[in-house]
Amino acid sequence: MTFRRCQYCAHENMECKLDSPCSELSRCDGLEVDKAVSDLWIDINTVKSGVLAVFFYLICRLLQDLLRWPVRFIFSLTGLSFLWSLLVHVARGLLVMLKWSTHIWSFVAVLLSMFSKISWVPDAFRSVAGSFINVKQYCEGLSKRTASISEHLSLTTTLRPHVRDPGLRVIVLGPSRGMCGSLRDSLLGYSAGALAPDIESTTWRAKVDGREVTVVETPDLFGTSLSVKLQAQEALRSLQLTSPGPHALLLVLPTTYLDKVYQNSAQSFFLRLLHLLGEEAAKYVLVVFTCVNLRGGFSSLEQLLEEDYLGIKAALPLCGDRVDLVNISPGRSIESRMVEGRRLLDRVANMRTQQGHFIHEFQQQEDQIRTKLLNDMTLQIEQKLEGLKK
């Protein structure tokens, strides 16, 4: 056993313990413990350094997020609409939850109110029943308020892909006005007997197999009879006539004389269409080759593709391999031509199921302006009605 001199008393070779004569035992032990524990604590400088490091790290992450999200919204045309749609879905989800919770609270409140009317039920149970009834009334009021908010959001949001849309809307474009008119008759199931005006787009409607079909026939958008300004104007006007947007853009190309008259490839016609309506229109283009007779034409689509008419193979990747061949010879009866038209309409219906309808950038801006005007007018009318109550 090791002995040492106590620094607070005169005893030498005396062990510091409970039964020792040293009266400063607690002081010795306290100093030893303080010295041992002081080595374990972090000093104030270390704490400051850690806090500053965490602070600057959070500032850097915040700056990254502040820069990243605006860039995403700027370079995404549908970013804001997607965020607004998500907000509406969340509001509707909360509304459904509140409705169900209201029903549950109503059921519980009815049960508790029945028990609270019984004389032998304790007062504590009656107070609980009263609390549940108050909660039920609060949930009902909150549900009504949320319903009004959700209704307001539904007025200010255009959810195009989710709107019930039983009809079909197509735009017929092409270098040959006569072929476009013949294809229009095949789609509608009757002979209009007239060509569309030379300088403006025309709308035709009919009910085919129980569904409403809207066909917009465009003027010469690929030739030189119209100025560049009129071509751009009529291209956008055709989109307005098929509002809220066409399900398909039928690019009509004849199979008999087009290669000799225009000397253009199918790819050049396709790119011309994209210059008029935008690159997003490529997903909605259906290239339709029209055959007016079998002599000098093609008997099947496979033969046309095999001979690579108008260089169609180069255009197939651009239009997603959406190409068809129809026989719209004037010598055929309207019933037989309607068979070709129904087949094309079935393809358009499949395109509508897969991707909805085409929305041009100017239509999105138009919707935003219309929505803002609707909100402003709604607020003005609401203020007038509130003033009448006072």
> Cβ(170)–Cβ(239) under 8 Å?
no
Structure tokens at 283: 């997903």
Same domain membership, residue 129 and residue 263: no
- 173 and 239 together in one domain: yes
Q: What is the mean pLDDT of residues 304-314?
A: 86
Residue 205 and residue 340 in one domain: yes
Tally of domains within the chain: 3
Residues 316 and 218 in one domain: yes
Same-domain status, 195 and 324: yes
Do residues 206 and 281 share a domain? yes
The band of 352, judged by pLDDT with boundaries at 50, 70 and 90, is very high
The pTM score is: 0.54
Cis, peptide link before residue 166, omega less than 30° from 0: no
296 occurs within a structural domain: yes
**Across 151-177, average pLDDT:** 63
The predicted structure's pLDDT at residue 151: 47
pLDDT the model gives residue 360? 82
Q: Which domain holds residue 105?
A: 97-157
- Token pair, residue 249, equals 């853009």
Q: Which residue has the tokens 């860039």?
A: 71
pLDDT over 80 at 351, yes or no: yes
**211-217 and 248-254 strand pairing:** unpaired
Q: Helices in 197-254 by DSSP H: which ranges?
A: 228-241
Q: Is the pLDDT of residue 237 over 80?
A: yes
pLDDT band at 353 (very low <50, low <70, confident <90, very high): very high
Question: Is 80 domain-assigned?
Answer: no
Sheet containing strand 211-217, strands side by side: 202-208, 211-217, 168-173, 248-254, 285-291, 323-327
Structure confidence at residue 157 as a pLDDT band (50, 70, 90):
very low
Quick check: is 7 in a domain? yes
Domain boundary among the residues 108, 131, 157 is at: 157
Give 355's Cβ-side CA count (13 Å radius). Answer: 17
Q: Which two tokens stand for residue 154?
A: 């539904």
Is 45 within a domain?
no
